[in-house]
Amino acid sequence: MHVDRSNTDELYDEARNDAIEVEANLVQRNDANLDADVDIDNDTFSFTDGSNLTYCNTHTCGLTGRRKRIRGASSAVVRDMLVDNFQGHPVPMMNRESITDIFVDEENQFKYMFLAFGACVRGYRSMRKVVSIDGTWLKDKYNGVLLVASAQDGNYHQYPLAWGIVDVECTSSWSWFLMKLLEVVPDEDELVIISDRHQGIINAVSTVYRNAHHGHCTWHLSQNLKARCKNKGATEINRYPEAAQYLDERDSLDRWTRAYCPKTRYNIMTTNGVESINARLLEERKLPIIALLDSLQKLASSWFARYRHASIASNANLTPTIEGILRSRFTDAQGIQVLN
């Protein structure tokens, strides 16, 4: 079991690396080491650190399955792997203030999980209080749904707040996810939550976020409107009363308009932002859960690093996008005559 350490010389001092065991000591911490042991007779392995925390216990799937990155495993194995690799171990230790949780059913089978990285938790304090939520299907052997909550930063970038994996989208799964999201996004009067009109989301938001305003995605509403009033000019409400009647019956004005919204939803009228995150994860959604979680961490880290470098390089008082908008408007305004 040889490990390529060509890029880790500055991080680890290799103590042993052979077919039976890999051991490495963290250079800057004498008390921290990584130790992976192979049990050839039982076709299993375990992975521990210097604190004797075991990250991967032995499971029913052996080395052969693990070499294939565990493309398929029972829900019990998935549960054990998530608990050993995820809950209470690497994420909170390496990402301060991270929030994690796993829920199992009465048969002790994996059902839901929640993950919010510490950087996302801290960053929300500086975000506009408008949060978009959405779900998208996973495409691995056991399916499931990936839930995402996202905000928008000052440069109009999507800012992922939390992730969840559930079996199906329904009132119970969304309620569990939103109850965990309360630790990241408190229920407060100025908060606006944007989503499509999935009944499970509507039920869950009304139960969990009682003080927030629940707005609906205007794009989804427009698609429903077009389907209902097909070939009848549905986009022109004044000329086609049937379209107006549909909107009055299906949704109140405060749910989908900015003028009648009792809170401030700014320019966030759709869930396109959070759906763009789901679209970015098109390939990652085919991975097993553990690999998917790794991909989420790498994606969030790369986004934050890129935006941080751009922020440091900027000398403007405003974000680049806002600066560009104001400059464009200033140029347009120069040709406009102001009357007293």
| 161 in Cβ contact with 151 (< 8 Å) | yes
87-97: pLDDT as tens digits? 444 555 556 78
pTM: 0.69
- Give the whole-number percent of the chain exceeding pLDDT 90: 34
- Higher pLDDT, residue 260 or 88: 260
Taking all residues of the chain, what is their mean pLDDT, rounded to a whole number?
Answer: 77
The predicted structure's pLDDT at residue 340? 72
Structure tokens at 105: 């059913």
Q: Which of 53-67, 68-82, 270-284 has the highest mean pLDDT?
A: 270-284
The backbone torsions φ and ψ at residue 111, rounded to the nearest 5 degrees and listed phi first, read -130, -55
29-68: pLDDT as tens digits? 444 454 555 554 554 445 555 444 444 444 344 434 443 4
| 121 in Cβ contact with 131 (< 8 Å) | no
